[in-house]
């Protein structure tokens, strides 16, 4: 697998010319959000003035717990409704769109708490990701000859993805029998089945053991090499540094910094917001992400 | 003590009209609860809609049975929409609350004095509402085998009833192994995951609610035709709970679960009842009166079902490994 292939160099080259300030405009944004506000009672969980995500890049969204990262994800993907704000994906306005429509347009997300469909087999989890299935219509489902060929094509594609994510041996197991790390892989592979243009990963590395983390990172890089855009939420600065082309930092609902990973991590404002009173602690959470029993 | 009689009664009932009605209701619940995860606690409302459509349209309005059946099915779809539109966007429990309340509202409404002219009040509607169906009866004689006794009317209802169940079972089998079935099973596991993959979960849940309700309504239509009488107090929530019992007995999310469940449930219920009756008549049991048998058979069958849930919680056809996954 290419560690840092052609697309990575391209993305980094393009982003090198972008000013390192919050809300910086990107040369070719796939996602643009403006004045997005979500309040829970008196608390503004999200208050993003402006943010753009460069097409073809891996962008990390980081920030301390409670910064509003997941809430922002939920808003962008239609799982939650904002109090104010607009955003567009590929130039198309996306506000107030149902989450399933957001996904159909090519903006597919995963969840922080992995949502493997436990009592479905791994291969059925995968097939569920495929778009535009004729057999998913009630009447057509009764007439297998209408969808059998499409199903075979989807199955072939699903098997290729399972192989790539080293889940092919688990093909006919129930997804509920997989380990935590394998579920993360399955969820990512399933999202790829829908051939998204922008894949949004909510803490893809949480609860995954270090060995599997490396392979997850490679998979995320592969997604970029294939031309998709990745936006992901993460805590662990080491991993962010390793794979992201651009980092957006959130704290208390607002975007406080942007830039390439190296610059962002030296930014005193970020260190302040991120660590608060615990300056002496390391910027990693490797102790937390060590979960016994997660094997591949 | 006439064991042949006890067995004969049990087998006749296990394959009879009542078992067919409950089997249809449980097949509906299987689609809704077993595959899609919808908690419909008002399946009896769908059965009542079917039975009362036949009774009201044929007897109260004097129209044809063949008009009553499609109207009943349309009314069932309407009920599913009324129940589903406000609740299916909410958490699963809301559907459960709304459906059980609706089933009682419908029963109390058809029972009311104000609407007695249409629905017959507490006495219900009695009359030859199924005559048009019985006129088509191709059988000329009753059936009277050692273990099976049906009148020619019952024989005709039972033949059509099990044929319908066979057709609906085939349709269910086709549905649940298709991509449509995969989506609804996904919704059962985690609705948000399915939505995040671009499926409109709301529409699928509505479809499952309508289809399952229609099966219950067919059960109600069979009821009215077979018994030529519909009474409000036949449509108490117990019918829903017996249907759930049947479903879990056979195994939820198993195509043949409701059939096997209905046969076993009615066999056990009748067998225990008749057996106790015979023992009392023969003087072997002296501490019970014949009138105690009704409740006691439910106690005994209930204990048996508790045992089943403890030792085989997945039902007869279920896969225990699948059930174990829920614990994670």
CB B197 within 8 A of CB B28: no
Do A177 and B196 lie within an 8 Å CB cutoff?
no
Do A136 and B180 lie within an 8 Å CB cutoff?
yes
- Kindly list the domain boundaries of chain A, sorted by start residue: 6-116+178-231+243-281
Question: To which residue do tokens 């016994």 refer?
Answer: A292
Least Cα distance to B58 among B120, B134, B156, B125 occurs for B125
Please tell us whether the domain made up of A6-116+178-231+243-281 is placed in CATH 3.60.10.10.
Answer: no
Q: How far apart are CA B237 and CA B243, in angstroms?
A: 10
Least Cα distance to A246 among A3, A5, A87, A17 occurs for A17
The reported pTM is 0.91
Which residues of chain B have a CB within 8 Å of the CB of A116? 193
Structure tokens at A128: 């569920």
**Could you tell me the domains of chain B?**
3-131+153-327 (1.10.3470)
Q: How far apart are CA A58 and CA A223, in angstroms?
A: 9
pLDDT at site B183: 97
Strand order in the sheet with A107-109: A107-109, A198-202, A229-234, A58-62, A246-251, A254-259
In this prediction the ipTM stands at: 0.88
CA-based nearest residue in chain B for residue A179: B328
Q: What is the mean pLDDT of each run of 10 residues along chain B (328 residues)?
A: 88 95 98 95 97 96 96 98 92 91 96 93 94 94 89 95 97 96 96 95 96 98 96 95 93 93 94 91 86 88 85 81 62
Q: How far apart are CA B148 and CA A231, in angstroms?
A: 68
pLDDT at site A294: 41
Check CB contact of B180 with chain A, cutoff 8 Å.
yes
Do A120 and B192 lie within an 8 Å CB cutoff?
no
Helical H segments across B30-125, by residue range = 43-54, 65-87, 92-111, 116-119
DSSP A220-245: HHHHHHTT-EEEEEE--HHHHHHH-S
pLDDT at site B322: 74
Q: How far apart are CA A261 and CA A263, in angstroms?
A: 6
Check CB contact of B327 with chain A, cutoff 8 Å.
no
pLDDT at site B26: 97
pLDDT at site A3: 52
Q: How far apart are CA A19 and CA B71, in angstroms?
A: 68
Which residues of chain A have a CB within 8 Å of the CB of B174? 141-142, 144
- Residue A46: strand pairing partners: A38
Which residues of chain A have a CB within 8 Å of the CB of B190? 115, 117
Q: What is the pLDDT of residues B150-175, one digit of tens each?
A: 999 999 999 999 999 999 999 999 99
DSSP A179-235: -HHHHHHHHHHHHHHT--SEEEEESTTTT--HHHHHHHHHHHHHHHHTT-EEEEEE-
In a structure prediction context, what are the per-residue pLDDT tens digits for chain A, which is 296 residues long? 445 678 888 888 888 888 888 888 899 999 999 999 999 988 889 999 999 999 999 999 998 888 899 999 999 999 999 999 999 999 999 888 999 999 999 999 999 888 889 999 999 999 999 999 999 999 999 999 999 999 999 999 999 999 999 999 999 999 999 988 899 999 999 999 999 999 999 998 887 888 888 888 899 999 999 999 999 998 777 788 888 999 999 988 999 999 999 888 888 888 888 766 455 555 554 444 444 444 44
Q: What is the pLDDT of residues B245-304, one digit of tens each?
A: 999 999 889 999 999 999 999 999 999 999 999 999 888 888 888 888 888 988 988 888
Residues of chain A in Cβ contact (below 8 Å) with chain B: 77, 79, 98-101, 103-104, 108-111, 115-120, 124-125, 127-129, 131, 133-138, 140-142, 144, 147, 151, 174, 176-177, 187, 190-191, 193-194
Residue ranges with strand state E in chain A: 29-40, 43-54, 58-62, 84-89, 92-93, 107-109, 198-202, 229-234, 246-251, 254-259
């Amino acid at each position: 697998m290419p560690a840092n292939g052609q697309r990575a160099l391209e993305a980094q080259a393009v982003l090198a010319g972008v000013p390192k300030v919050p809300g910086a405009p990107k040369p070719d944004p796939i996602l643009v959000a403006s004045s997005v506000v979500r309040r829970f009672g008196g608390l503004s969980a999200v208050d993003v003035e402006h943010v753009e995500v460069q097409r073809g890049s891996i962008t990390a969204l980081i920030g301390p717990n409670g910064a509003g990262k997941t809430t922002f994800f939920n808003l962008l993907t239609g799982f939650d409704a904002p109090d104010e704000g607009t955003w567009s994906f590929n130039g198309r306005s996306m506000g107030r769109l149902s989450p399933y429509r957001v996904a159909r347009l090519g903006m597919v997300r995963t969840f922080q708490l992995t949502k493997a469909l436990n009592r479905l087999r791994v291969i059925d989890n995968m097939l569920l990701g495929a778009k535009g299935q004729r057999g998913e219509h009630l009447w057509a489902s009764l007439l297998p000859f209408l969808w059998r060929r499409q199903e075979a094509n989807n199955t072939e594609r699903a098997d290729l993805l399972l192989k790539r994510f080293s889940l092919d041996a688990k093909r006919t197991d129930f997804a509920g029998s997989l380990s935590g790390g394998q579920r993360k892989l399955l969820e990512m592979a399933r999202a790829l089945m829908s051939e998204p243009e922008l894949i949004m990963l909510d803490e893809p590395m949480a609860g995954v053991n270090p060995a599997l983390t490396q392979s997850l990172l490679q998979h995320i890089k592969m997604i970029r090499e294939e031309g998709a855009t990745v936006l992901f939420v993460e805590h662990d600065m080491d991993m962010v540094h390793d794979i992201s082309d651009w980092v957006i930092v959130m704290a208390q609902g607002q975007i406080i910094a942007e830039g390439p990973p190296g610059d962002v991590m030296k930014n005193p404002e970020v260190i302040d917001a991120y660590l608060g009173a615990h300056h002496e602690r390391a910027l990693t959470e490797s102790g937390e992400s060590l979960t016994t029993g997660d094997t591949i | 003590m006439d064991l042949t009689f006890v067995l004969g009664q049990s087998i006749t009932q296990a394959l009879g009209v009542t078992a067919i009605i409950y089997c249809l209701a449980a097949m509906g619940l299987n689609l809704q609860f077993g595959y899609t995860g919808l908690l419909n606690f008002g399946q009896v409302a769908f059965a009542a809609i079917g039975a009362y459509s036949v009774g009201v349209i044929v007897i109260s309005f004097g129209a044809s049975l063949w008009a009553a059946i499609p109207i009943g099915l349309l009314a069932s779809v309407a009920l599913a929409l009324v129940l589903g539109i406000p609740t299916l966007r909410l958490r699963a429990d809301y559907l459960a609350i709304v459906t059980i309340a609706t089933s009682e509202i419908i029963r109390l409404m058809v029972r009311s004095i104000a609407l007695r002219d249409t629905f017959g009040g507490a006495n219900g509607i009695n009359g030859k509402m199924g005559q048009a169906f019985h006129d088509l009866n191709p059988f000329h004689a009753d059936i009277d085998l050692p273990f099976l006794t049906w009148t020619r009317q019952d024989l005709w209802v039972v033949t059509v009833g099990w044929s319908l169940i066979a057709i609906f079972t085939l349709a269910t089998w086709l549905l649940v192994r298709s991509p449509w079935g995969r989506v609804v099973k996904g919704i059962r596991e985690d609705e948000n995951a399915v939505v995040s993959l671009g499926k409109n979960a709301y529409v699928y849940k509505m479809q499952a609610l309508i289809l399952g309700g229609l099966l219950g309504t067919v059960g109600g239509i069979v009821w009215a035709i077979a018994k030529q009488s519909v009474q409000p107090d036949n449509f108490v929530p117990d019918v829903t709970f017996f249907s759930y019992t049947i479903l879990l007995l056979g195994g939820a999310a198993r195509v043949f679960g409701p059939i096997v469940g209905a046969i076993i449930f009615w066999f056990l219920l009748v067998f225990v009842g008749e057996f106790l009756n015979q023992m009392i008549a023969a003087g072997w049991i002296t501490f019970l009166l014949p009138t105690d048998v009704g409740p006691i058979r439910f106690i005994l069958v209930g204990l048996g079902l508790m045992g089943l849930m403890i030792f085989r919680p997945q039902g007869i056809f279920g896969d225990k490994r699948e059930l174990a996954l829920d614990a994670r």
